[in-house]
Amino acid sequence: MNEQDSLQMQGLLRRAGFEKSTNPWDADLILLNSCAIREKAVHKIYSDLGRVRLIKEEHPGLILGLAGCVAQQEKENLIKRFPFLDLVFGPDAIRHLPDMVKEVRMRRGGSGERGTTNYPPVVRTCFDSRKDFEFVNLLPHEEENRVKAFVTIQKGCDNVCSFCIVPRVRGPEVSRPANDIVSEIRQLVELGVKEVTLLGQNVNSYGKKGNGISFSQLLERIDGETGIRRLRFTSSHPQDVDDDLVEKFRTLQSLSPHFHLPVQSGSNRILSAMRRHYTREDYLKIIESLKNVLPAIALSTDFIVGYPGETEEDFSATLDLIDKVGFDSSYSFIYSPRPGTASFQLADDVPMAEKTRRLEILNNFQRQISEGKNKKLEGTVEEVLVESYSQKDKVWMGRTGTNKIVHFTGLSAFNEEKIIGEFVNIKIIKANPFSLMGEQTRTPCTEESGFASSELEGSLHREQREREGI
């Protein structure tokens, strides 16, 4: 979500006449986009502000702004701590960015220089009402990645998970009109985008506050009306996974066989303390349904280690859940107390050394499972969407439908710009825990093999066959 917010800010500024600067010391405007979900991220943004201050001191005409969730959380307190800031705004205010920059300049008297006059910074951290909230709709610029794109369909969250600060910094849940979403994806497809990821703080609760259609129905519309080749979504809540959504993995051609479904803990006692409103049994039932519908589905999740009161028995229950599900990957973090959340009032009673030990055990266990699952792919042929090419290493990079990273060779004779954004068949020759290594096969992606055909790829294969005298 933060990556998408940054892209939207960049697009709005470009439309307002700004250009990217390759050197921050030459910039007229520097924005730092912040995350507040863990303490480490907050400390990092404060450290970054300290470094950028040096530029501000040498170039007082520089407009320096802090955006995102830390700005939303701390509001005017940031100005007291960092008086050199010119602009502070939360996620809801992104669409007003060009106007806020103009306001900063106006307060300076239009000169752009601070001079000797002390002027108040611009602070915008109020939440727009559900009626007034507007989603930013900006298509990617030619400099940006046109292979994949994010599309925001929902913002905010109405859940009250005890550890989570999202409702406080992202506001109440609001769903975007379905017609706007479908229209944007159609335009992205026309630009050549092959993969779209639908974004929301609680993406599968889309439409539950009366937006006309459900999340499953939205997926159905996108699949049937846009022509997108690959469709993904993140991040989901288990309590909003129903049978209809599970069934879509069987019936929708564009829906990628990968589901990221955060569980946070394998202990019912900890899940209850976290206010997650499901049990491990509920979660395992969802996983069983997904595997029944699509046995090859890849599953990933999130874990929090060391939540207040977590015992060794609770932690063992988490390891047992990992073993039972067999996640392809997971994102695991040490519990971080966040001001304003319910758990912030609890004693953080798991020692840091113990949290670190548990995290290491969990990550090593997940690594073994991930490597074992990836090893089963050695010798198989996977359809890969090509995303980039490394001139230095002469290696291509792409992803499978199951969201596994593949580094491969075999296309070096062709213009990399023509290959990026194409689907190719790659034979997996070596598996690592976090990625796969492969080489291009001689079998093109065809409709008969279940993959969409590509004129470019067919041409490349013909050239290769002619050179080899086949």
Distance between CA 208 and CA 225 in Å, rounded?
22
pLDDT value of position 145: 66
Tell me: do 35 and 112 sit in the same domain: yes
Residue-level pLDDT at 51: 94
Does a structural domain hold residue 305? yes
Range of the domain at 11: 2-124
Per the structure block, which two tokens stand in for 73?
């959380």
Rounded Cα gap, residues 67 and 210, in angstroms = 30
Please give the chain's pLDDT, 470 residues, in tens: 899 999 999 999 999 999 999 899 999 999 999 999 999 999 999 999 999 999 999 999 999 999 999 999 999 999 999 999 999 999 999 999 999 999 999 998 754 454 434 688 999 998 876 666 778 777 776 556 689 999 999 999 999 999 999 999 998 899 999 999 999 999 999 999 999 999 999 999 999 887 789 999 999 999 999 999 999 999 999 999 999 999 999 999 999 999 999 999 999 999 999 999 999 999 999 999 999 999 999 999 999 999 999 999 999 999 999 999 999 999 999 999 999 999 999 999 999 999 999 999 999 999 999 999 999 999 999 999 999 998 888 899 999 999 999 999 887 555 666 789 999 999 999 999 999 999 988 654 543 333 333 333 343 343 333 333 33
Let me know: does 350 contact 311? Beta carbons within 8 Å. no
Q: Is residue 139 part of a domain?
A: no
Is 319 in the same domain as 391? no
**Which residues have CB under 8 Å from 89's CB, separation 6+?**
65, 66, 67, 71, 96, 97, 100, 122, 123, 124, 125
Answer whether residue 134 is part of any domain. Answer: no
Q: What is the pLDDT of residue 8?
A: 92
| Residue 141 belongs to some domain of the structure | no
Task: Please say which residue of 375, 410, 428 terminates a domain.
Answer: 375
Same structural domain, 307 and 447: no
| Whole-number pLDDT of residue 297 | 98
Q: Residue 417: what residue type?
A: E
Same domain, 106 and 193: no
pTM of the full structure: 0.87
Residues 36 and 76 in one domain: yes
Any domain includes 91 = yes
In a domain, 130, yes or no: no
> Are both 355 and 216 inside the same structural domain?
yes
276 and 179, same domain (yes or no) = yes
3-state secondary structure of 441: coil
297 with 445, same domain?
no
Provide the CATH number for the domain around residue 369: 3.80.30.20
Question: How far, in Å, are 64, 70, 271, 280, 298 from residue 40 at the CA level?
Answer: 22, 12, 23, 29, 29
What is the DSSP code string of 85-127? --EEE-GGGGGGHHHHHHHHHHHTTTSS--TT---PPEEE-PP
Indicate the residue among 350, 375, 400 that finishes a domain: 375
Same domain for 201 and 107, yes or no, is: no
Q: What is the CATH number for 87? A: 3.40.50.12160
CATH number at residue 407: 2.40.50.140
Say how far apart CA 272 and CA 278 lie, in whole Å.
8
Task: Judge if 363 and 446 occupy the same domain.
Answer: no
**Same-domain check for residues 218 and 366:** yes
- Give the orientation angle of helix 215-225 with respect to helix 178-190, to 10 degrees: 30
Q: Which of 340, 375, 410 is the last residue of a domain?
A: 375
In a domain, residue 143? The reply is no
Q: Domain count for the chain, please give it.
A: 3
**How far is Cα 323 from Cα 320, in angstroms, rounded to an integer?**
5
The reply to whether 309 and 409 lie within a common domain is no
CA distance 129 to 206: 17
Q: Is residue 132 part of a domain?
A: no
Q: What is the DSSP string of 270-336?
A: HHHHTT----HHHHHHHHHHHHHH-TT-EEEEEEEES-TT--HHHHHHHHHHHHHHT-SEEEEEE--
